[in-house]
Amino acid sequence: MELNSQIKTALADPDKKILLMTHIVLGYPSLETNRQVIEQMVANGVDLIEMQIPFSEPMADGPVIVKANQEAIEHGITVRRCVDFAREMTATHAIPFLFMTYYNIIFKFGVEEFFREAKEIGIRGFIIPDLPPEEGEDFFALSRRYGIAAILIYAPTSTPERMRELARYSRGFIYCAARKGVTGKQTDFDASFNDYMRTCRANTDLPLAVGFGISSKEDVDYLTGKADIAVIGTRTINLVEEQGVAAVGPFIAGLR
């Protein structure tokens, strides 16, 4: 089943007014910790997980995730180890898993080979923040050929025309950055955010995910009815650092 169908099936559950997607950095602080965190997330109701393959210059990420990327690389994580770990996760858990990374990783690996392996192991989508449609014709063609959703990003600065153009290439869902800047900083929801979400909704038929600074039940409650997926990233990394893996499950369970 392709990602869009999986999302629509999950949203049809009357007990889920909004889906939860979490983000982890593979290899930080270790793959064993990643394994335990994912188990906690799935057991407590997460609907999708994006697994970040570390990159040395993660331009869309804030200081917490940048640090996690750097430390994972310093500790010896490789793309091959990330792919092998993903194979284990997709075989163990039934929810959709996505890869998030930067295009140089895929280019170095071999673009079609990356798609081929991702398809083989059951990855449902790719989030590649530094690859616009104008520079990724082959990538987006392979996305369609292999049935792996290319997920593009709307920003508060995106015009309606640009949103419609991005929607032509995107599959699965649209990732709506809740504010300008990078991940991690708390987002303030206001009238301008509501206007932005209405503009997003008007310019695509795809489900909308909102990330960047989503960190509490109050945030998830606010997004319910405006978005289809709430994305939590930096907060869970901080939780593991401050309180350990055991804190992740109760946090996720308390988000809705």
120: annotated active-site residue: no
Considering 50, 57, 74, 241, which one is annotated as catalytic? 50
Distance (Å, rounded) from C-alpha 104 to C-alpha 182?
A: 19
Q: Which residues of the chain have pLDDT under 70?
A: 179-188
**10 Å Cβ neighbour count for 85?**
21
For the stretch 198-214, pLDDT in tens is: 999 999 999 999 998 89
Q: What is the pTM of this model?
A: 0.94
Task: Output the pLDDT for position 113.
Answer: 98
> Following DSSP, what letter does each residue of 18-79 receive, concatenated?
SEEEEEEETTSS-HHHHHHHHHHHHHTT--EEEEEPP-S--TT--HHHHHHHHHHHHTT--H
Q: What CATH code would you report for 3-253?
A: 3.20.20.70
Q: Where are the domains of the chain?
A: 3-253
Catalytic residue check, 50: yes
Q: Of 40, 39, 46, 43, which Cα lies nearest the Cα of 20?
A: 46
| Catalytic pick among 47, 61, 219, 228 | 61
Q: How many residues does the chain have?
A: 256
